A and B are shown apart, each in its own frame.
Chain A
Amino acid sequence: MASKQPENSLLGPEADSQRTLYPNVTGTSVVALKYKDGILMAADMGGSYGSTLRYKNVERMKAIGKHSLLGASGEISDFQEILRYLDDLILYDNMWDDGNSLGPKEVHNYLTRLMYNRRNKFNPLWNSLVLGGIKNGEKYLGTVSMIGVNFEDDHVATGFGNHLARPILRQEWHENLSFEDGVRLLEKCMRVLLYRDRSAINKLQIAKITEEGMTISQPYSLKTYWEFSAFENPTQGAVGSW
């Protein structure tokens, strides 16, 4: 006897394919810090399809409105969906035409609610987001995870960045970094990630947001060093049967 389930029911095995089960195309770490004039954020341009590096020109950082910068790791298509939601939010804000504009704190709050509500429906947006910006001289840098965990700090990172970049930032970040020092610090973090995160690629962008607005660098690569003597003859000293 066939059981009658309506086609759009959330019960039954067909329903699970309507919820995110696992990510498909993913971006790796985003690292960001507060500096003298605003926020600096770095992310590489890779989009991995499992272990394949499928896309090498993915911009994982975008400006939101006049005052904010969003960086994302995790599922790229979900990041694009979030950008659409934010487009609507900023449009709605602009259409009031009242001289007010959403600041980074407000956008971060919106994103937190968005991620948390999707988690409540068991259909998460599979991203870790970094939201930075500056409005009326006040710098803001926050992060939200795919289950809605959020906080703000002087420096944040997603994914592997938490393990490899945060310790460096805890040691070397200080208040009122110059632009050059900030970039140097971010590059130091990104270089460690490049060496040690297998989904990182050597093509990155650094974005800056200040009271004047957002600028994003052209993609460039970091200098790396592979001439360690231990790399030259890697199997020397390793006894094998063939």
Chain B
Amino acid sequence: MTKQQANWSPYDNNGGSCVAIAGADYCVIAADTRMSTGYNILTREYSKICKLADKCVMASSGFQADVKALQKNLAARHLIYQHQHNKQMSCPAMAQLLSNTLYYKRFFPYYSFNVLGGLDNEGKGCVFTYDAVGSYEKVGYSSQGSGSTLITPFLDNQLKSPSPLLLPVQDAVTPLVEAEAIDLVKTVFASASERDIYTGDKVEIVVVNAAGIRREYMELRKD
């Protein structure tokens, strides 16, 4: 009698795409609001974006239950940090914390594909991109999730960022202004919705700059 195999999976993919773009004095973080499972849409109005600190915002796609647990974990750790240091965590500090938190579950991972965006201590935009087990890199822009293969090449072409292959290494922050970057994000999600079944319904766009954090929405295809 062979050992019974589990007929359920602890993971599911609830789909969706995330994007973050860093500028000289701003950062745009965006994600669609569709939550799916298999070929079904569970809800059209689910936010994948979480504000972790005053100038630090995370967008995550993948398995929603793990994403939620990860967000709660980081929010709790940030609260402790504030009690101990009497200040907000900077974006680079939160970036390291996220990496460590993900690697902590290296052998039963958070199925969560994250982009972290915000302003660094000098007020310059920064974006960090992650895989599910915590390897991360500071970049000028990034996209994760089901539409990332459709979105990344478009951003490579349109953002006018210096190539990461150039020497000496140049900061990959885009020379575009805030309004141009937001416009690009809208275009990119509209395009991704055409071909990726898991991306659509609405895109939630969060902009972090010196004035603070603001949010806007744009309708996308519902099919």
Contacts of A152 in B (CB 8 A): 43
A149 with B14: CB separation less than 8 A: yes
Chain B residues, Cβ within 8 Å of A209 = none
Judged by a CB distance under 8 angstroms, whether B4 is at the interface is yes
User: Of A112, A119, A120, which is within 8 A of B68 by CB?
Assistant: A112
- The CA-CA distance from A162 to B37 in the complex, in Å, is 10
Contacts A16-B4, A21-B6; is A148 near B65 (CB within 8 Å)?
yes
A48 at the interface (CB under 8 A from B): no
Q: Is the interface of A mostly helix, strand, loop or mixed?
A: mixed
Q: How far is the CA of A140 from the CA of B69 in the complex (A)?
A: 21
Q: In the complex, how many angstroms separate the beta carbon of A50 from the nearest chain B beta carbon?
A: 14
Quick check: A151 and B8 within 8 Å, CB to CB? no
B34 to chain A, nearest CB (A): 11
Chain B residues in 8 Å Cβ range of A22: 7
CB under 8 Å from chain B, chain A span 187-212: none
In the complex, whether A163 has a CB less than 8 A from a CB of chain B is yes
Can you pick out 6 interface pairs between chain A and chain B where the beta carbons lie within 8 Å of each other?
A112-B68, A119-B65, A122-B6, A147-B10, A149-B42, A162-B42
Task: Please report the C-alpha to C-alpha distance between residue A152 and residue B45 in the assembled complex, in whole angstroms.
Answer: 9
* Bound complex: CA A122 to CA B8 (Å): 10
Interface: B35 (CB within 8 A): yes
Q: Contact flags (1/0) for B21-49 with A, using CB distance below 8 Å?
A: 00000000000000101001011011000
**Interface members, chain A 142-166 (any B CB < 8 Å):** 145-153, 162-163, 166
| Cα-based distance from A7 to B11 in the complex (angstroms) | 30
* Residues of A that sit less than 8 Å from B by CB: 13, 16, 21-22, 112, 116, 119-120, 122, 124, 145-153, 162-163, 166
Q: What are the interface flags for B1-18 relative to A under an 8 Å C-beta threshold, 1 for contact and 0 otherwise?
A: 001101111111010000
Given A162-B40, A163-B40, the answer on whether A149 and B65 have CB atoms closer than 8 Å is yes
Within B45-79, the residues touching A (CB, 8 Å) are 45-46, 63-65, 68-69
Would A151 and B10 count as touching, CB distance under 8 A? no
A147 CA to B14 CA in the complex, in Å? 12
Measured CA separation A11–B35 after assembly (Å): 36
Chain B residues, Cβ within 8 Å of A145: 12
- Chain B residues with CB below 8 A from A116, complex form: 65, 68-69
Could you tell me the distance between the alpha carbons of A163 and B40 in the complex, rounded to whole angstroms?
Answer: 7
Hey, which chain B residues are within 8 Å of A122, CB to CB? Answer: 6, 10
| B60: min CB distance to chain A, Å | 14
B6 partner residues in chain A, CB cutoff 8 A: 21, 122
Complex interface: chain B residues within 8 A of A163 (CB) = 40
Residues A16 and B10 in contact, CB atoms below 8 Å apart: no
Report A-chain residues with C-beta under 8 Å of the C-beta of B11.
147
Are A147 and B65 interface neighbours, CB within 8 A? yes
Assess A151 versus B65: contact at CB under 8 Å? Given A122-B6, A146-B8, A162-B40: no
List residues of chain B with CB within 8 A of the CB of A21. 4, 6-7
B46 cross-chain contacts in A, Cβ below 8 A: 151
Query: Which residue of chain B lies nearest to A12 when distances are taken between CB atoms in the complex?
Result: B3
Q: How far is the CB of A108 from chain B (nearest CB, A)?
A: 12
Closest-CB distance, B4 to chain A (whole angstroms): 6
**Residues from chain B with Cβ under 8 Å of A149 in the complex:** 12, 14, 37, 42, 63-65
Chain B residues near A13 (CB, 8 Å)?
3
Instruction: State the Cβ distance, A34 to closest chain B Cβ, in Å.
Output: 13
A8 to chain B, nearest CB (A): 19
A167 to chain B, nearest CB (A): 10
| A153-B45, A162-B40 known; A119-B10 Cβ under 8 A | yes
Q: How far is the CB of B202 from chain A (nearest CB, A)?
A: 14
In the assembled complex, which residues on chain A have CB atoms less than 8 Å from the CB atom of B42?
A: 149, 151, 153, 162
Task: From A21, A146, A148, name the one whose CB has the most chain B CB atoms within 10 angstroms.
Answer: A148
Q: Does the CB pair B7–A151 fall under 8 Å?
A: no
Residues of A near B68 (CB, < 8 A) are 112, 116, 148, 150
